[in-house]
Structure 1
Amino acid sequence: MKMMRGYLRKISSQPYACRYWYSTVTCGWCLPVRHFTPSSMSPERNPGKLIYELGNGQWNIPQLREALEKIIRQDSHFDDYEVEHSFPSIGRRIMMLNGRQVSEAGERKKFILLAIEDATDRIMAKRKLQESEKKFRGFIQTINSIILRFNNEGKITFFNHFSEQLFGYSEKELLGKPMVGTIIPEKDEEGRDQQAMVRGALEHPEQYYVKQTEGRKKDGGKVWFQWSAKETRDERGNVTEILVDGNDITGEMEYRRMLQEIQGLAESSPDIMARFDGKMRLLYGNPFLMRILGRSRNEVVGKTIRELGLPAEKTAQLEAALLKAKGEGDRLKTVIELQGHVYRIQIVAEDKQRQSFKLYAADITDRKRMEDALRRNEYELKSVVENTPDIYFRMNRQLQYVFVNPTYEKLTGLTKEQFIGKTNSQLGMPRQMVEFWQSAAQEAIVSGKEHIVEFEISSLFGKRYYSARIIPEFEKSGLVETVLVVARDITDRKQIEEELASTRS
C-alpha cells in the first residue's frame, strides 16, 4: 500500500481534476482536488463504500460503471474515455477517464487506478470550433465565389462547389493535384509562365491583393477570374498555404475584348463612325471622318455639328436628323452627299434618355449608281415588254401565270388580273393548248435547259402561229423557280410556207 500511495502522490502532480484508486469498485483512496471531491467524499468517511455511492450517488454514472466493470471482467484498461454527466453542485461536466488494474509487488490483491480529468472547457471549446468550422464550410460551399486553397507545393487542398461548377472538376479530382496544368494553363496567352505566378503568390502574397488570371476548364474551355491571396503561416513565419478568394470575370473579359475589336474595326473602317451627346457635340469620330473633315481628332472632339466645318446645307441636314432621333428615339436612316460621295446614315440612341447617339455612315456611291442603272434598265425593259408585238409571260412550277404582257392580253381577250395565279386549265383554255403547255413547260423545269417550240393560237384576230423560247429561271438553291416564255409571231412565214407547198403540189 505504501508503494501505491507513493505512486498516487506522484501522479497527483499531473493536470487532472481528480484521481482515485480503489479495490474492485470500493473506494480505497481519494485525493481531494477541486470541486469533484468535497470532504464528505474522503476515504476516511466512506470506508468500504462503492464509488457509485459517493456524494449521494452522484458518481453512479452508467458510462463509468460500464467502463470499470469491463476492466474487472476482462482485466483490461481504457484511455481517454469521455463521460458527460450533470452533477448537482457544479452542473454538467465532461470528463476524460483513464483506468487500469494495478497491484503491489508480492501481493495478490489488485486495485483499479482511475484518473479523471475535467475536460469541460477544452472539449466545449473544441466543439464550438468544429461547429464554427462546419458553418464556415457550409457558407463557403454556397457562396458564388471561387474559394480554393493550395499548399506551398502549389497543390490544391480545398475546392468549393462554385469552383467545381465553373471549372467542371469535382473537388475529389483536384485534391492533391497542382493548380498549374489543371485549372490554370502552364502559359497564359502572352506566353508567361504561370508556375512563376504561383511561386510569387507563395513568396509575396501581399503583392497578389488583386490579380486577373486565365483559367482552363476540364473540357478545355477558357475562363478568366480575378482573385486575391491570403496566406497561412507556421510558427516560424513560413507560408504553408494560400487561400484564394476570386470571382468569375469571363463575361467581363469577353465584353472588353469585343469592345476592343469594335474599336479596332471603327478605327480602320472605310465608313464614317461617330458619337454625339444630347447637345450634338462630337464625342468620338473615327479616322475616316477626320479625313473628310480635314482636321485632327483633338480639333473637333467636343465641338457641335455646326462647328465641324461642314457645308451649311449638310450641317442643317445632319442637325435635323439628330434632332429627329432625339425626339423619336427610334433608329433613323437618311442619305447625305459629301464631297461627291453618297452616304447612307443611320443614327441610333445609346440610352433610353437619348443623351448620346451613334452615327454610322456607309459609302453607297457605287451601290447608288448601280441601283440607278438597274432602275433605268428595268424601266427600259418594261417599256420594251409592254410595247413589243411579241408575247411575254411567266409561269411558276405549278404552271400558274405570274406575269403576262399586254400583247398576250390582247390576243386572248383576258386581263392581267384574270391571268395571275391561274393555270390554262382554270382559265378554260382548249384541252389541246393545256396539254401542250404542260408538256413544254415541264420539260424546261425538269431539264433546266432552254428549248424552242412552235404553237398556234386561236385569237381574237384569227388563227396565229408563234415560235417560242421557253427559258428556265433559277432560285438561289439551284432549282427552277419559274419559266419565261418569249414568243414571236410567225404567221406570215407559215402562210408563205403553206403557199409554196401548195404550188409544188
Structure 2
Amino acid sequence: MIDTSNRQAELEAAEIRYRRMFESAPEGILILDAETLKIIDANPFMVDLLGYSRDEFAGKELWEIGLLGDKQASKAAVRALQEHGYIRYEDMPLQTKGGTRREIEFTSWAYDEGEHKFIQCKVIDITERKRVTERKQAEATRFKGEQEFEALVENATDIVSRYDRKFRHLYVNRAVEQATGLPASAFIGKTHEEMGMPRHLQGEWHAVLEDVFASGKERETEYEFRTPGGPRFYHSRLVPEHAP
C-alpha cells in the first residue's frame, strides 16, 4: 500500500514555497500558456514595473504589453523559444502602461507541468544600471577628450583659454606666460579683473564673452595688450562649447 498523504503534503508545501518566491521575487515573472501564448499569471514586481494590474495582464500576449516588439517579432521569438527551449535578451527597451521607457534583461524558457506546457519569463529592470554605465562612459569620453584637448594646445604658440559663465578661467595654456609673465596656473579660477587686466579691456572682454554665452555663436575681437616685451596686437576667436 502506498501512503499518498505524505506525498500530497510535500507537493502542497512545495507549492507554498514557490508561491512565496513568486510573490516576493526581486524581478518580474510572467507565466504563459505555451499553447495560446497568453499570460496566465504575473507577480507583483511586474505589476509595479509596468503599471498593469494582474487582471490586465491576464489573457494578453507579450507583444501586447510591450515585450518582444510587435506581434510578428513576438511570434518569431516564441518560435526560437520552442526550438531551443530558451531565449535571452541582455538589453531591450520596454514601455510601461504610462509611457515610461525602461531597459530590461529578458529571459524565457519552456517547461512541462504534468500534461500541460508553460512558458516562464523573467524580467530584470536594468534601467538604473544602464544609466550608471552610460554616465561612466560619458565621463570617460569627456575625460579623454579633455586630455586630448590639453595635449593638442598645451604646446601651441597661440594662447588658448576656457571660461565659465562667470568669466573665470577654467584652463589656460602655457603660451599665456610669454604674454603676461605669469604662470598659467595663476589664472585658474580667476577673472580678467582679478588678474589685473586694464579696465577698458575688461569691459570689452566681458561684453564679448557675455554675447558668446547668450547667443551660442562664435565671436572675434582684436585688441592691444602690453606684454613684458612691449605692446602686442591680438586677434582672438571665441567659440562656445556645447554640452553633449
| TM-score tier (shorter) | 0.5 to 0.7
Q: Report the counterpart of residue 232 of structure 2 in structure 1.
A: none
Match of 1:288 among 141, 144, 149: 149
Native 8 Å contact 1:206 1:229 kept in 2: yes
Q: Report the counterpart of residue 430 of structure 1 in structure 2.
A: none
Root-mean-square deviation over aligned CA pairs: 4.3
Larger radius of gyration: 1
Q: Report the counterpart of residue 200 of structure 1 in structure 2.
A: 80
Residues in 1 aligned to 2:196 and 2:80: alpha-carbon distance in whole angstroms: 67
Match of 1:213 among 85, 92, 99: 92
Residue 217 of structure 2 corresponds to residue 338 of structure 1: no
Residue 63 of structure 2 corresponds to residue 180 of structure 1: yes
- Partner amino acid, structure 1, of 2:121: V
Residue 75 of structure 2 corresponds to residue 230 of structure 1: no
Describe the shift of the 1:168–1:220 C-alpha distance in structure 2 as closer, same or farther (beyond 3 A): same
- Specify the SS of the correspondent of 1:181: helix
Stretches of structure 2 that go unaligned for 5 or more consecutive residues are 157-168, 178-182, 203-244
Work out the percentage of aligned pairs sharing the same amino acid: 17
Residues in 1 aligned to 2:171 and 2:142: alpha-carbon distance in whole angstroms: 23
Q: Report the counterpart of residue 144 of structure 1 in structure 2.
A: 26
- Specify the SS of the correspondent of 2:69: coil
Residue 212 of structure 2 corresponds to residue 376 of structure 1: no
- Specify the SS of the correspondent of 2:136: helix
CA deviation after TM superposition for structure 1 residue 123, in Å: 4.8
Q: Report the counterpart of residue 248 of structure 1 in structure 2.
A: 125
Counting only pairs closer than 5 Å after superposition, residues 350-499 of structure 1 correspond to structure 2 as 368=192, 373=197, 376-377=199-200
- Specify the SS of the correspondent of 1:180: helix
Encode CA deviations 1:262-309: one digit per residue, 9 max, x unaligned. Answer: 445456x5xxx3xxxxxxxxxxx3x31332368xxxxxxxxxxxxxxx
Q: TM-score, normalised by structure 1?
A: 0.30
Match of 2:39 among 153, 156, 161: 156
CA deviation after TM superposition for structure 1 residue 134, in Å: 2.2
Describe the shift of the 1:202–1:290 C-alpha distance in structure 2 as closer, same or farther (beyond 3 A): farther
- Partner amino acid, structure 1, of 2:82: L
Residues in 1 aligned to 2:58 and 2:127: alpha-carbon distance in whole angstroms: 24
Native 8 Å contact 1:150 1:156 kept in 2: yes
Residues in 1 aligned to 2:66 and 2:192: alpha-carbon distance in whole angstroms: 55
Describe the shift of the 1:161–1:334 C-alpha distance in structure 2 as closer, same or farther (beyond 3 A): closer
CA deviation after TM superposition for structure 1 residue 334, in Å: 8.5
Residues in 2 aligned to 1:128 and 1:170: alpha-carbon distance in whole angstroms: 31
Native 8 Å contact 1:225 1:246 kept in 2: yes
- Partner amino acid, structure 2, of 1:129: L
Encode CA deviations 1:38-67: one digit per residue, 9 max, x unaligned. Answer: xxxxxxxxxxxxxxxxxxxxxxxxxxxxxx
Stretches of structure 1 that go unaligned for 5 or more consecutive residues are 1-117, 274-284, 295-309, 311-332, 346-360, 380-505
CA deviation after TM superposition for structure 1 residue 260, in Å: 3.6
Q: How many pairs align?
A: 183
Residues in 2 aligned to 1:249 and 1:215: alpha-carbon distance in whole angstroms: 11
Residues in 2 aligned to 1:183 and 1:336: alpha-carbon distance in whole angstroms: 51
Q: Report the counterpart of residue 258 of structure 1 in structure 2.
A: 135
- Specify the SS of the correspondent of 1:177: coil
Q: TM-score, normalised by structure 2?
A: 0.56
Q: Report the counterpart of residue 11 of structure 2 in structure 1.
A: 129
